[in-house]
Structure 1
């Protein structure tokens, strides 16, 4: 049985999620120790426990240590990932509920379900726009299309937003059988257009509209079409968010900002625009978040995948560590052109 150190590097939940996904695809038992050991609230939180239980259901795993606060988990799959219709509720993992990220759970189960023999439909209740996780808009507009370049078939729709602290959002993931393949990026190409997704709940309609308008003002000098949507949607908690997607000829990059009490809508939009502008100053193929999210699906493909990222992040290093610990692939992080980081993933079969 492989043992994975959950405190490695940034020591967050990403190590656990990647270990679970690899165990499911490869049919191998895994023990994860010192889970989030260096965090203020170490061990399994509600969103991690919900992910463990979801993965357990998909492969009928034998599990030890699946409880809140647990620092160690043993996960032993008993069958291949089974296609089907699944419903998971992150809030049910803890008394009083949780706004744990539905997007992170979706990303975790999407890869194993891609290796099932038939399509799957997954509905997840939880947070869709919460701190320290990709927004529902980012996952739908950036992550899912990027997976397609690697031969995966996944679509994501946020039916209802879920904000901190109540959560209660609804995210639908559809996954089809994959034919994983290598992706050799030859550059992102010229910027073709910008998409803006501004969303708010329990706030006036002018809040998302002002965010969208500010993005238009800030990015108008780019000289490309800007497609902006703004909406107010019902939710269990108040919240606001904007996601800016830069659509290049060959890749897309996304930048999201959540609203804060007392922070004007324009400043929320400015933060996302600042990140987008910084990315445009470089020549990386993908944004830093997508970089770490592509390593696992690339490791399960055929042939070497290669792309550039703006920098090495803790999540990228964590994913590389788990993938190499499983012997699934060799992951190389080396200086690339124009101050980028070249990421190479060589599957071992």
Structure 2
């Protein structure tokens, strides 16, 4: 059994999610200790426990330590990934309302279900736009096009917004099956346009309009052509935020009581311009998310990123530990970097 120390590197939930994806794909059991040791509240939180249960459902895994706040988990796959209709609700793990990220749960099961023998239909309930997690729109507008270049075929739909702390969001996905992933060399693309959405639920319409207007003006001043949509939706509770995206990168900011709408927009624009003006192929968040498909692909994949994060470094070390693949990283933490990965050429069992 592979034993992984969750305190190494960034010490967060990404170690758990990568282990779950790879164990479900390969059938290899693992024992994870010191789960999320680097966080203020270590152990399995509702979204992490939901990811564990989701991966286990797909491969009928036997579990030990699968409960809230657990710091050690054992995961024993009992079958290859099984396609089907699945429903994963973060509130069931929490025992109450929760805004745990459904997008992180979805990314845990995406890679195993891609290699199932038929399409799968997934319904996820919880947080769709929450702190410290990729939002629905980031995944749909930035990650999806990048994943498609590997041959990933999936469709996403946002059926209800879920903000922190109330949750109540709903995302559905249809994941088609593939036999293999193809290698991709991501190269910098000229960026002239930025799209986005400024949204609120259960709040006045002038708030998203102010966020959109401020983001539009700042992006235009930087020489870009912005298209920012302002929307007012219904949800379980009040919430506000803005998400921006362009080829290879995105940025977002969430509102909170007392924070002016203009300031929310300025935060997102500053992050977007940091990526655009660097000239890298992918942003620091997508860099982390690309490593797993690169490791599974047939051939060598590569990209440049505007910032090498501890998340990316941790995931690279973990993938090497699981798959023993060569990963070349040129660059220093916190600075631009070039990464190349020679994939194992994983294929679906027949």
**Above 0.5 in TM-score?**
yes
1:196 maps to what in 2?
196
1:208 maps to what in 2?
208
Structure 2 residue corresponding to 1:279, chosen from 271, 275, 278:
275
Structure 1 residue 4 displacement after superposition: 1.0
Residue 219 of structure 2 contacts residue 225 of structure 2 at CA under 8 Å; is this kept in 1? no
2:340 maps to what in 1?
344
Structure 1 residue corresponding to 2:264, chosen from 247, 260, 268:
268
Alpha-carbon distance in structure 1 between the residues aligned to 2:270 and 2:311: 22
Alpha-carbon distance in structure 1 between the residues aligned to 2:170 and 2:260: 27
Residue 199 of structure 1 contacts residue 241 of structure 1 at CA under 8 Å; is this kept in 2? yes
Structure 2 residue corresponding to 1:257, chosen from 228, 253, 261:
253
Structure 1 residue 220 displacement after superposition: 1.4
Residue 44 of structure 2 contacts residue 70 of structure 2 at CA under 8 Å; is this kept in 1? yes
1:184 maps to what in 2?
185
Residue 142 of structure 2 contacts residue 246 of structure 2 at CA under 8 Å; is this kept in 1? no
Alpha-carbon distance in structure 2 between the residues aligned to 1:328 and 1:138: 30
Structure 1 residue 223 displacement after superposition: 4.6
- Aligned residue for 2:71, secondary structure, equals coil
**Partner deviation per Cα, 1:40-85 (whole Å, 9 max, x = no partner):** 2111111110110011101111111100111111111111111111
Where in structure 1 do 4 or more consecutive aligned residues deviate above 3 Å? 221-225
TM-score of the superposed pair, with normalisation by structure 2: 0.94
1:228 maps to what in 2?
228
Structure 1 residue 246 displacement after superposition: 2.1
Alpha-carbon distance in structure 1 between the residues aligned to 2:267 and 2:326: 35
Alpha-carbon distance in structure 1 between the residues aligned to 2:224 and 2:126: 35
Gap regions ≥5 residues in structure 2:
346-350
- Aligned residue for 2:144, secondary structure, equals helix
**Partner deviation per Cα, 1:243-262 (whole Å, 9 max, x = no partner):** 11123xxxx31001111211
* Matched positions, count: 342
Residue 164 of structure 1 contacts residue 237 of structure 1 at CA under 8 Å; is this kept in 2? no
Gap regions ≥5 residues in structure 1:
none
Q: 1:330 aligned to 2:326? A: yes
Give the alignment's Cα RMSD to 1 decimal. Answer: 1.4
**Partner deviation per Cα, 1:303-327 (whole Å, 9 max, x = no partner):** 0110011122121112112211112
